[in-house]
Amino acid sequence: MADDDLLRRRAVLPIGTVMNLTTLTARQIRYFEEQGLVKPLRNAGNHRMYSLNDVDSLIGIVNERRSGMSLADIKRVRQHQRQQTSDAAARRALRDELFNQRFGQSGSSPYGQNFH
């Protein structure tokens, strides 16, 4: 599962491929980048390279615009989603760290057995 996420975040698609996959023009894609809705990486030649997650995001924007959402609404919803994801990740990290401090370093498990 984690490997799938790493693969989906790998920026390997040039803008021409993204145009074919999303039905957007290069100008539209760059505009969404200017608006902060996608953040492609740049290769050694300074060309934009997109990930599968970027493609999914662009397709989502197309669908949301077709359903009548304004760009401001889309940005607001996505910011809220990022905040929730960020908060959830921070809670997971804190929980894991507390668990490791409590059980990992002492050598005891929550089941009363030592594994050292």
Residue 44: DSSP 8-state: T
* pLDDT band (50, 70, 90) for residue 13: very high
Residue (of 79, 14, 19) closest to 49 by Cα position: 14
Number of domains into which the chain is organized: 2
Instruction: Give tens-digit pLDDT for 15-62.
Output: 999 999 999 999 999 999 999 999 999 999 999 999 999 999 999 999
Sheet holding 48-50, edge to edge: 13-14, 48-50, 41-42
The pLDDT assigned to 90 comes to: 77
Flag whether 111 is in a domain: no
Task: Take residue 20 and report the two structure tokens written for it.
Answer: 């074919």
* 8 and 59 both lie in a single domain: yes
The domain of 76 spans 70-105
* 64 and 79 both lie in a single domain: no
* 77 and 35 both lie in a single domain: no
Flag whether 60 is in a domain: yes
* 77 and 52 both lie in a single domain: no
Q: pTM for the complete prediction?
A: 0.68
Instruction: Give tens-digit pLDDT for 63-108.
Output: 999 999 999 999 999 888 888 877 777 788 888 888 888 776 544 4
